[in-house]
């Protein structure tokens, strides 16, 4: 699987996003469009970005009853994005329904990769035990959710880079947020690492936000992240 850096575009509007993209010059990175931006700008912006040649990870983390997720994913499948996702905690039937809807929506177009969120990188062992009432370790929980995603026919999961080696052993792709350049603030993330370490741990894709978007020179930061992750 091709390794790549995905920039988390956590902006509040299309204008902010495009102002950021101008700073990248000739670079055409993989972009993560999440809830904040999608709920403001919607499908037209995603289609614009695809027309401009950007690859898109549409990060909406669908989680509902199977039929609702099926219908929603059928609509998202029409957008031509490259990756999209659901929450693994919705269960195998829900994930399988999402895959069915995505296939129908994509039609004769390219089929997006469908991945499942295992545990958020803001979740630690204490939260897992005391708030979510999950008695297993983070590693075991992530592995079990990943096995469910595999059983549903999905391509991979979202997980911390700390669990990427587990996912690689299962033959699945891993998209790992919680990436910071050395010395950067971890903000609200709890399970974080650097691009170089994520490569060593086996991440397929890394998602990098503020280390690039808040950098003094975003283009330079993006290139640095990419070289570190690809070992160039």
Catalytic sites, residue numbers: 61
Nearest Cα residue to 225 out of 60, 27, 17, 63: 27
Residue keyed to tokens 């490259």: 82
Q: Which two tokens stand for residue 200?
A: 């060593």
Q: Which residues of 198-229 are buried (b: 16+ CB within 10 A; e: fewer)?
A: bbebbbbbbbbbbbbbebeebbebbbbbbebb
Length of the chain: 232
Q: Which residues of 139-178 are buried (b: 16+ CB within 10 A; e: fewer)?
A: bebbbebbebbbebebbbbbbbbbbbebbbeeebbbbbbb
The residues, any chain, with a CB within 8 Å of residue 200's CB and separated by 6 or more, are none
- The distance from CA 80 to its chain's CA centroid, rounded to whole angstroms, is 16
Q: Tell me 79's DSSP state.
A: G
């Amino acid at each position: 699987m091709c390794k790549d850096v995905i920039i988390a575009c956590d902006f509040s509007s299309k204008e902010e996003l495009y102002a950021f993209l101008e700073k990248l010059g000739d670079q055409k990175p993989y972009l993560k469009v999440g809830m904040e931006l999608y709920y403001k700008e919607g499908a037209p912006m995603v289609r614009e970005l695809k027309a401009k040649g950007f690859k898109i990870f549409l990060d909406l983390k669908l989680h509902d009853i199977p039929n609702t997720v099926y219908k929603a994913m059928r609509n998202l499948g029409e957008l031509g994005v490259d990756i999209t996702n659901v929450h693994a905690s919705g269960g195998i039937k829900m994930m399988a329904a999402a895959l069915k809807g995505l296939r129908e929506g994509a039609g004769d177009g390219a089929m997006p990769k469908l991945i499942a969120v295992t545990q958020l990188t803001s979740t630690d062992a204490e939260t897992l035990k005391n708030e979510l009432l999950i008695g297993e370790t983070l590693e075991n929980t992530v592995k079990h959710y990943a096995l469910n995603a595999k059983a549903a026919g999905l391509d991979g999961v979202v997980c911390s880079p700390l669990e990427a080696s587990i996912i690689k052993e299962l033959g699945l792709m891993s998209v790992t947020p919680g990436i910071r350049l050395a010395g950067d603030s971890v903000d609200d993330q709890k399970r974080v690492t650097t691009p170089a370490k994520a490569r060593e741990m086996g991440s397929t894709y890394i998602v990098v936000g503020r280390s690039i978007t808040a950098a003094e020179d975003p283009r330079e930061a993006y290139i640095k992240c990419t070289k570190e992750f690809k070992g160039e």
